[in-house]
């Protein structure tokens, strides 16, 4: 194996002796672990650490989130209320007080990284959180960044902020590492504990300390050559999906134009036992990772004088998919003799993936906006989403599926939640645009 993929040493070879805790904020014992940011990444990490018996505190800027967690209520789909209640019973507490950082043995930063209004990387949350950690940093602490970002973030942004705020030196007075999150909302097979975990240290000793920490509750660790390699590996994982989804979407567009059944093409190609990974077309990409991470890579590469031409082409295809779906809706309405102005269109499933309550970057929002601009009366049904807004305005929500389908002029299946019966939808008696290849029937039109 090369250095970037070798397995981490066994935990008994790298585990460090416990250090006597220093007094924390308020005179109590400092936390073994402080997780900064209790969202889709931080809360599952905190749960896994608590389950392993690590004394954990969560730090978040939202008092609403903190209050809910203290009452045993989860705001993250991958962590149930009873799991939060169990965490609290084990001693977990959430707070908005950054004083809990002082004296912590390990601090893991899990704040969100999104896009600015012009579509560029937004590192403001990382910078704010890191500066806060730096002001409270004490000698001997391990600081790990898990937030997704471009190569150079840990060493070029996080390290200077920590050193400036604390007066300490990374690799000497405190340890620094990067370990990208691999959270897949709704995945019941792979979670924090059993998903292989990449770890990259600023120095070899930093890496050893980080491996010692994560080996306490994660089964398989992969040691990267350094923090840049770990950061790049995370971006590659999602850029790989980004490019391949774009390829399949473009194949679907071509097949539609020339009259080829793209779903049969995928079925046939998917029978090859080697050299082909199946990706499927859809109304557009969503979630926090796939639409965002490749832009971090492209923006950083551009700053360094390199152009990712393939990413630019993929983005052009993916950005066009919501408009293509909206256009298909208008074509179908016209084909059935229904004027767009005032037509009742029902969107089924507005989350970004099946059976999760997550609407981040969902293409449903762009599709609805384009239909509304055409004068269509748009409503949605989704058991996971009580409030769905398009340009700050709430979209009417249908609660009764059968009644909503029965009164719609056209139904659009955007997300095949398990609660949707394919046979019933295929025979619902209404024109249906199926963007997921899940339905068959006389009135069903594939993407």
- What Å distances lie between residue 261 and 293, 318, 447, CA to CA? 31, 20, 10
Pick the catalytic residue from 206, 289, 419, 428.
289
Residue 424 tokens, joined: 């019933």
Q: Tell me 158's DSSP state.
A: I
Query: Alpha-carbon distance 164 to 90, whole Å?
Result: 35
Helices (H), 195-292: 204-214, 227-258, 262-269
Residue 244 tokens, joined: 């391949």
Query: Alpha-carbon distance 35 to 93, whole Å?
Result: 11
Encode 147-174: b = buried (16+ Cβ within 10 Å), e = exposed: bbbbbebbbebbbebbbebbebebeebb
Q: Tell me 137's DSSP state.
A: -
Query: Alpha-carbon distance 53 to 47, whole Å?
Result: 10
Q: Is 50 a catalytic residue?
A: no
Q: Kind of pairing, strands 197-201 and 221-223? A: parallel
- Burial of 19 by CB count in 10 Å (0-12 exposed, 13-18 middle, 19+ buried)? exposed
What does 78-135 look like in DSSP terms, one character per residue? Answer: TS-HHHHHHHHHTT-EEES-GGGGTT-SEEEE----EE-TTS-EE-HHHHHHHHHHHH
Measured distance between the N- and C-terminal CA atoms of the chain, rounded to whole angstroms: 43
Query: Alpha-carbon distance 65 to 390, whole Å?
Result: 24
Query: Alpha-carbon distance 393 to 378, whole Å?
Result: 12
Largest Cα–Cα distance of the chain, in whole Å?
77
Q: At what angle do helices 293-303 and 309-335 cross, to 10 degrees?
A: 140
Residue 145 DSSP SS3 = strand
Q: Which residues are catalytic?
A: 289
């Amino acid at each position: 194996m090369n250095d970037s993929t070798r397995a981490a040493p066994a935990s008994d070879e790298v585990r460090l002796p416990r250090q006597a805790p220093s007094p924390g904020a308020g005179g109590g014992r400092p936390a073994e672990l402080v997780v900064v940011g209790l969202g889709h990444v931080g809360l599952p990490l905190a749960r896994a650490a608590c389950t392993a018996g690590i004394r954990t505190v969560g730090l978040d800027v939202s008092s609403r989130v903190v209050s809910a967690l203290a009452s045993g209520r989860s705001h993250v789909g991958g962590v149930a209320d009873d799991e939060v209640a169990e965490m609290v019973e084990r001693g977990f507490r959430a707070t908005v007080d950054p004083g809990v950082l002082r004296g912590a043995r390990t601090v893991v930063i899990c704040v969100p990284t999104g896009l600015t209004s012009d579509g560029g990387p937004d590192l403001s949350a990382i910078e704010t959180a890191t500066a806060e950690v730096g002001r409270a940093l004490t000698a001997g602490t391990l600081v790990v960044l898990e937030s997704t970002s471009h190569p150079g973030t840990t060493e070029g942004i996080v390290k200077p902020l920590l050193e400036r705020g604390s007066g300490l030196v990374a690799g000497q007075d405190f340890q620094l590492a990067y370990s990208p999150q691999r959270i897949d909302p709704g995945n019941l097979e792979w979670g924090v504990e059993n998903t292989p975990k990449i770890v990259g240290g600023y120095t070899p000793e930093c890496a050893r300390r980080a491996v010692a920490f994560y080996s306490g509750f994660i089964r398989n660790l992969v040691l990267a050559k350094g923090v840049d390699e770990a950061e790049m590996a995370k971006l590659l994982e999602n850029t790989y999906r980004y490019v391949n989804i774009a390829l399949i979407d473009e194949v679907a567009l071509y097949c539609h134009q020339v009259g080829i059944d793209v779903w049969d093409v995928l079925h046939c190609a998917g029978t090859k036992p080697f050299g082909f990974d199946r990706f499927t077309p859809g109304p557009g990409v969503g979630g926090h990772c796939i639409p965002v991470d490749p832009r971090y890579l492209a923006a950083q590469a551009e700053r360094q004088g390199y152009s990712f031409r393939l990413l630019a082409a993929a983005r052009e295809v993916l950005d066009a998919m919501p408009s293509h779906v909206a256009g298909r809706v208008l074509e179908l309405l016209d084909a059935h003799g229904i004027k767009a102005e005032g037509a009742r269109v029902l969107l089924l499933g507005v989350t970004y993936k099946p059976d999760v309550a997550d609407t981040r970057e969902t293409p449903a929002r762009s599709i609805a906006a384009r239909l509304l601009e055409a004068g269509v009366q748009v409503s949605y049904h989704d058991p996971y989403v009580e409030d769905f807004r398009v340009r700050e305005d709430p979209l009417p929500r249908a609660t009764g599926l059968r009644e909503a389908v029965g009164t719609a002029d056209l139904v659009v299946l955007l997300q095949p939640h398990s609660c949707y019966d394919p046979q019933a939808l295929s025979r619902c008696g209404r024109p249906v645009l199926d963007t997921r290849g899940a339905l068959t029937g006389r009135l069903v039109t594939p993407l």
